[in-house]
Structure 1
Amino acid sequence: MAPKRPQNIDVATLGRDAMAGTISAIVNIAYCISFSALIFQGSIAAGFPLGLAALIMGTMVTGVVVSLTTTLVPADAGPDTPAVAVMSVLATTVAAGLAAKGADTETMIINVMVAITVSTFLTGAVLFGLGGLKLGQWLRFVPFPVIGGFLAASGLLLITGGVEVITGSNLTLSPSSWAVMADMRFAPQIAVGLAFAFFIVLLKRWMDDYLTLPIAFVVFLVVLNAILMWFVADPDTQADWYLAAVGALQLWWPIGALSTHDIDWGVMALSSAEIGAVCGVTAISMLLDVSSLEVARQKSADLDKEFRTNGLANVLASVLGGVAGNLSLNNSLLLQQAGAVTRISGVSVAVVCGLVLFAGADVGSFVPKAILGGMLAYLGTMILIEALVHSPAQRSRTDLALAIAIALVILYFGYLVGVVLGVIGACLLFALSYSRIGVIRRHLTRYELSSSVDRSPEQARLLQEEGKRVHVFWLSGFIFFGSSNGLFERIRREIEEQKEKPVGYIVLDFSAVQGLDTSAVLSLVKLRNYCEERDVTLVFSGLSDSMHAAFLGAGFFGTDRPHQAFPTRNDAVEWCEDMVLLYHEVGEASSHTFETWLQNELGGDITFERVEPYMTRRELDSGAVLFRQGEPSDSVVFQASGCVAITIEGEYGRSIRLRRMLGHTVVGEMGFYRDVPRGANVVAESASVVYILTRESFDKMQDEDPGAAASLHKLIIRLLSDRLDFANREISALH
């Protein structure tokens, strides 16, 4: 749980914060020593004290600003491990570029420090820009294999950096560079470094996490120095265990260095990829740290504010000679575990670090390289485990393989190339995975699904027989190059496999489609051409304005094209039904008159003349209301011709059409037989003729002509059974 801040800060609380800050400061200083040894080695090893001072300064400045402004109290900040790994690559790149021009050691060190300062300033600008423009949440969309890949690469760089600190060599992917590992001169130091890393792991099992690293560091520092002093008599052998004598800590003032030294901005420009990588890695590291700290503290952070304050901290650090840093998950949890409560704990870390910095001790003369290398190896191993073992990527072999591939590309070609290729690879994998889902949410034919039009039994039977000619596809999601071809292949297969009654109409419902790209339009152009070759009409529904414009521009609609577009799927299916009926020359008039239809439905013995006296003929103009919702259901209506609509009152009094009823059907039978109020309005959509049978007249028919009444009952039962059967098949198909 997140610690609760007390209302009044007392002496005891200040004491707890000061103690927690001191413990965290020891850990931070140990980190800084290892990081400086990682960055400044080989030809620029003499820059170790300058780099260490800059790292401690960065820890102080970012720590104070972040601890006083963060929304995740208590918290601390400083140079983060992945970013430092990239800085080591930046330092190597700048030093190599200057060495090729014959620059001396001092010039190389100053230029490396300027490059780190520039990267720190740009990191601050990028972080502040992300927060100021409220773009922090967009970083959450970075694919995890990319994050895992660059974290894994950072971990590997730290592990190899630990070996390089001990051996003074430059390890690469080339097997020959690792030959130094077989040199027995370095075997004891490498063994001690591994023992130090293993000792940290063992201590975590025996005591609280916040004590393990300080105790391990102090114990190994004291014991190893004692052993070297008392049991190693040869001065040269002793010197091999320490960094070359580089003197006391030196403060780095970038503004002064710019005015007194020649800076090779051409080499800086050639190192822009590494400088950009520092910015990107710091931003993503900060996102991961903030997200993880939110989970650990069970508290939501203001991500944009964190980006702004961390950005300002880095800009300030660059001016004061510090190294890029950000809110640190490990340091913040360390403070909490050590008993910190308030923001003062983060300030305490900076105060202790400041005392060490301004004391100006020659740290490199008493911290053995084995401890520095072991700490780097430990940190690198922990990052590797988090990136590849405990991460979500290990749940998917594909994501894990991509993360490993990205890490190898970064090691060989650099962070920029690795991250760019990683994003491309992750996008391609996403496209491949998303295309497997498919965009067809449901597929039915007119045999299972009708429009909302109730037609005459003759028309309904014909549409049922010819229902397989009309296919309806519900589409959903975003249609792109990966899924559009699958849509084409599915429809092509349906058309080719249906031989007995060839497909005539394909309804494509886009109402649940969020959008489509140009390649999807091109694939549908291919579908259009294929359908036109086979005399199949495409009918679109639910197109947004932008999608309709895209299809119109691609030549789907026009006087020379048979394809159609409708606002809703129901309108599209209704049009297809009309076309099928028109093809079979069974229009609204039907081949029966109303009289012959009713006589046929009632049975050959019951003529129209027997039931006509009990009904009232009524002619309706377009817009005339036959029933109103809520009225008594005191009649049943036989529709002779025209079209009526079943509507209900929607929100704000808007009329919603549920169904349309064409000639030769029955209306209002449900309420009539159940003796309940009308559930909807019935309005004539065109000039119509109806025959109305009132309840009084029906009762009279049952008394005077029970045979005709029984036939009428059978007609209603058959009609309701047909409607129920179709509804059941439609519901079954939709499920």
Structure 2
Amino acid sequence: MNPPKSLKRTPQRLLPTLTTALIAALVSTTYMISYGSLIFSGELTPYLASGIGFCLMGVVLIASIEALLSGSPGLVAIPTVNSAVIIASMAAAIASQLDGQSETIFPTVTAAITIATLLTGAAFLGLGWFRLGNLIRYIPYPVIGGFLAGTGWLVVRGALKTMTDIPLSVANIDQYLQAEVLLHWLPGVLFGILVLMLVRRYKHYLISPLMILGAILVFFLLLWLSGSSIQQAIQSGWLFQPFPPGALWQPPPLGDLAAVDWSTIASQAGQIATLILISSITLLLYANGVEVSAGIEIDLNRELRACGTGNLAAGFSASPPGYTIVTMSVLSNKLGARSRLVGLLVAGLCGAVMLFGGNWVALMPKVVLGGVLVYLGLTFLVEWLYDGWRKLPRTDYAIVVAILLVMGSYGLLPGLGVGVAIAAALFVVRYSHVPVVRHTLSGNTLHSRVERPSTHFQILHQEGQGLMALTLQGYLFFGTANQVFEQVRAELLSRQEHPPWLVLLDFRQVSGIDTSAALSFLRLKRLLSRQKILLAFTNLNPKIEQILKTDVLTSADRDAWRVFNDLDHGVEWFEDRVLHGEGGERLAIQAQPGMIQDGQERGGLALIFVALSEQLELADDTETAALMDMMSYLKRMEFEKGQALIRQGEQGDALYFLDAGELVVELSTDGGQSIRLARSGPGTVIGELSMFLNTPASATVIAELPVIAYRLSGENMRRLERENALAASALHRYLLKRVAQRLLMALDTVEALAE
């Protein structure tokens, strides 16, 4: 069996892989020691060695599983500072609740970390499995910024506690200003600021590891120059107490489960929910950051599944949750180390430190670890407070600051609550400003699919202002539905000279409405009723129609509203009412094949001949004779209801002049469905395109009512052109005018939609 391509190494490609892995392992080890000291501080300090071991084991599991399962070789995933600071907050709360119960604190904290990481992994896996990763994108950007800025402050505050062993609060701020305490934390803060400035200025991958190594060397150089011993540095709080012999990570004894206080863990449900939310958000942001910086495509859902699997494994080692790290992943791509071997080597090197480097880890200066944490925390604060001032609108910036202040003053849960409340308020306010009226059209720019004689089109154009059609979109609640009411009222005021008698609302692109939206439509119905204007609804799905039936679509005022299946049928109904009022009703007489009714036979044909005569410049009997002579080329045909005149796919060799009845044009899809394309009444022509283009018919034409039609075959058309040039010219010009008229109507509609 051949190894995967990404694991095949050549000497030229092995060097950048090893370089990337060594740098990432050094930085990861430093981060994990920092996270361990952040989480296991205060009353949990005696368990610091185990805490660092938990974090290092997290690197081993998360980095190796990410390397094997990720869709993008070269990505590096480790436990993150965002997770660590929330875990630290949860651990501190548990330690406070169990104050004095030394035998219970460590097992309970360990169990809480395990549960939190397992649930985070399960959430990642679920989002990725059901391909729901994009749901995270719907969280408002300033709310995300507020969470991350608040996380950054909590990291900085934790860094100060790591360096001084004194929790930062308003009450003990004076202690931080004492010379001895100041000496412990100020160098670390300055170191963190310096690293941040250099990284932002030069953006070189060696800055962080070299600064960390340099700071460690400077610390021990100063310790040597001062004549102090390691033991004195430990007693003065510069170094940690020596760790127990053996590996840093030890599996928790099963017997410790009996000492776990499960009720205390349950009280941290809010913290765990916050951890899952912020971890999901940050994973998305980090993945996007890698895509932009490294110029690669990342399958977010696959990344969620890979990180979810890694966290499920890491949960059993009591590691904080982890996911892809931008800096390390971008580094591997920039150095040409796009290999799964990078993550595996990082896991192996951190595993070696975990197993054999306990004595060396204990010598890590607190001031350096605190400085690293300050750097990480300031990264978020500077991005959202300093950079955000230039990039964000002032309203969004104020939201970031508000969430930061709440998280800094009251903790994670209140910050989460404020963030959720602001997100909900932002959604309501901003969505209410999203236009729900997509288009406002009149009968001059919106036409049905009914083919009509040109004289009817002229009437409809004259009376087009009688229709006001609004196409709606999105989800309608009280705020957005009120937009519809206000826009209709404004349109009525602007159309006082030519007021509409029908207002038509199309719901085809409306995803849903709530009951408050129905009140706005009730107000609209009453407004229109007072002005004798009819209200019509189209494309109502059953759920929306059911909501409207309560107050709007009531039987008591049935004459005030109409409902149509779709927009086309609604516009068709409007056109029919207009033509009915203009004497067009005589053309609606149903044909009865074999019988001639008064005013019916040759009625539609007469309209066509009137239009044909308009194409001729003659004004004497020659004109009449030429057109009447054309009758000899036509064949009178009768069709029963449901009978097809033209079938889709068959060769077109004739056109039909519709004299009486109605035709419907339908398109058959590959799925077996029939879509209505048009309806044709008396005085129209069918089949000209396929006959002139000599192509198969693109749709089927069926008699919707009994039909009388006159057929002009292709052969007779050619005879007409040879024998009666005057009539043939009139017919060609008439058909060309019909095509031009359709094009102009379509352009009117397109222009109206563009506006």
What TM bracket, shorter-length normalisation? 0.7 to 0.9
What corresponds to 1:39 in structure 2?
39
Picking from 568, 571, 585, the partner of 1:570 is 568
Picking from 399, 402, 417, the partner of 1:402 is 399
Aligned length: 719
**Which deviates further from its counterpart, 25-34 or 390-399?**
390-399
Picking from 123, 131, 146, the partner of 1:149 is 146
**Which deviates further from its counterpart, 31-40 or 580-589?**
580-589
What corresponds to 1:96 in structure 2?
96
5+ long unaligned stretches in structure 1 = none
Task: Encode CA deviations 1:364-397: one digit per residue, 9 max, x unaligned.
Answer: 8644332222111111112334456668993544
Task: Encode CA deviations 1:72-117: one digit per residue, 9 max, x unaligned.
Answer: 3334433211111112211221122223xxx155654554344333
After superposition, the Cα gap between the structure-2 partners of 1:392 and 1:473, relative to the gap in structure 1 and judged at 3 Å, is farther
What CA RMSD, in Å, does the superposition of the two structures yield over aligned residues? Answer: 5.0
Tell me, what secondary structure is at the counterpart of 1:442? strand
Tell me, what secondary structure is at the counterpart of 1:213? helix
After superposition, the Cα gap between the structure-2 partners of 1:54 and 1:720, relative to the gap in structure 1 and judged at 3 Å, is closer
What corresponds to 1:118 in structure 2?
115
Structure 1 Cα separation of the partners of residues 57 and 268 of structure 2: 24
Tell me, what secondary structure is at the counterpart of 1:447? coil
Task: Encode CA deviations 1:553-577: one digit per residue, 9 max, x unaligned.
Answer: 6652758513323333232112112
After superposition, the Cα gap between the structure-2 partners of 1:19 and 1:248, relative to the gap in structure 1 and judged at 3 Å, is farther
After superposition, the Cα gap between the structure-2 partners of 1:28 and 1:692, relative to the gap in structure 1 and judged at 3 Å, is closer
- Identity of matched residues, %: 27
5+ long unaligned stretches in structure 2 = 590-597
Asked whether the equivalents of residues 107 and 257 of structure 2 are also in contact (C-alpha less than 8 Å), the reply is no
What corresponds to 2:189 in structure 1?
194
Picking from 482, 491, 494, the partner of 2:488 is 491
Structure 2 Cα separation of the partners of residues 56 and 371 of structure 1: 18
Q: How does 1:14-413 map to 2 (within 5 A)?
A: 20-99=20-99, 103=100, 107-172=104-169, 174=170, 176-201=171-196, 204=199, 209-231=204-226, 239-240=235-236, 242-243=238-239, 245=241, 247-248=243-244, 251=248, 253=250, 255-256=252-253, 258-259=255-256, 262-301=259-298, 303-334=300-331, 342-359=339-356, 361=358, 366-387=363-384, 394-413=391-410
Asked whether the equivalents of residues 645 and 658 of structure 1 are also in contact (C-alpha less than 8 Å), the reply is no
Aligned-residue offset at 1:31: 1.6
Aligned-residue offset at 1:580: 3.5
Tell me, what secondary structure is at the counterpart of 1:437? coil
**Which deviates further from its counterpart, 489-498 or 650-659?**
650-659
Structure 2 Cα separation of the partners of residues 260 and 731 of structure 1: 71
Asked whether the equivalents of residues 645 and 682 of structure 1 are also in contact (C-alpha less than 8 Å), the reply is yes
After superposition, the Cα gap between the structure-2 partners of 1:5 and 1:560, relative to the gap in structure 1 and judged at 3 Å, is same
After superposition, the Cα gap between the structure-2 partners of 1:95 and 1:727, relative to the gap in structure 1 and judged at 3 Å, is closer
TM-score, with normalisation over the residues of structure 2?
0.78
Structure 1 Cα separation of the partners of residues 439 and 137 of structure 2: 32
Task: Encode CA deviations 1:423-476: one digit per residue, 9 max, x unaligned.
Answer: 443344344334333122222222343434455677555544433222122233
Structure 2 Cα separation of the partners of residues 132 and 367 of structure 1: 41
Residue identity matched to 1:52: I
Asked whether the equivalents of residues 58 and 78 of structure 1 are also in contact (C-alpha less than 8 Å), the reply is yes
Aligned-residue offset at 1:649: 6.6
Aligned-residue offset at 1:274: 1.7
Aligned-residue offset at 1:537: 1.9
What corresponds to 2:423 in structure 1?
426
TM-score, with normalisation over the residues of structure 1?
0.80
Structure 2 Cα separation of the partners of residues 359 and 682 of structure 1: 84
Is 2:471 the counterpart of 1:474?
Answer: yes
Tell me, what secondary structure is at the counterpart of 2:586? coil
Tell me, what secondary structure is at the counterpart of 1:561? helix
Asked whether the equivalents of residues 669 and 716 of structure 1 are also in contact (C-alpha less than 8 Å), the reply is no
Task: Encode CA deviations 1:570-617: one digit per residue, 9 max, x unaligned.
Answer: 321121122344456763369996699899997999799966964579
Structure 1 Cα separation of the partners of residues 413 and 661 of structure 2: 68
What corresponds to 1:643 in structure 2?
661
Is 2:555 the counterpart of 1:537?
Answer: no
Residue identity matched to 2:442: T
Residue identity matched to 1:87: I
Residue identity matched to 1:226: L
Is 2:437 the counterpart of 1:440?
Answer: yes
Asked whether the equivalents of residues 658 and 707 of structure 2 are also in contact (C-alpha less than 8 Å), the reply is no
Residue identity matched to 1:86: I
Asked whether the equivalents of residues 50 and 250 of structure 2 are also in contact (C-alpha less than 8 Å), the reply is no
Aligned-residue offset at 1:243: 4.7
What corresponds to 2:595 in structure 1?
none
Asked whether the equivalents of residues 666 and 678 of structure 2 are also in contact (C-alpha less than 8 Å), the reply is no
Structure 1 Cα separation of the partners of residues 384 and 200 of structure 2: 22
Tell me, what secondary structure is at the counterpart of 1:499? coil
**Which deviates further from its counterpart, 79-88 or 363-372?**
363-372
Residue identity matched to 2:577: M
After superposition, the Cα gap between the structure-2 partners of 1:426 and 1:633, relative to the gap in structure 1 and judged at 3 Å, is same
Residue identity matched to 1:370: V
Residue identity matched to 1:47: Y
Structure 1 Cα separation of the partners of residues 333 and 725 of structure 2: 89
Structure 1 Cα separation of the partners of residues 607 and 667 of structure 2: 33
Task: Encode CA deviations 1:672-727: one digit per residue, 9 max, x unaligned.
Answer: 99999999988765456678999889999999xx9xx9999999999999878766
Tell me, what secondary structure is at the counterpart of 1:187? helix
Aligned-residue offset at 1:486: 0.7
Picking from 519, 523, 528, the partner of 2:525 is 528
Asked whether the equivalents of residues 26 and 214 of structure 1 are also in contact (C-alpha less than 8 Å), the reply is yes
Structure 2 Cα separation of the partners of residues 11 and 581 of structure 1: 85
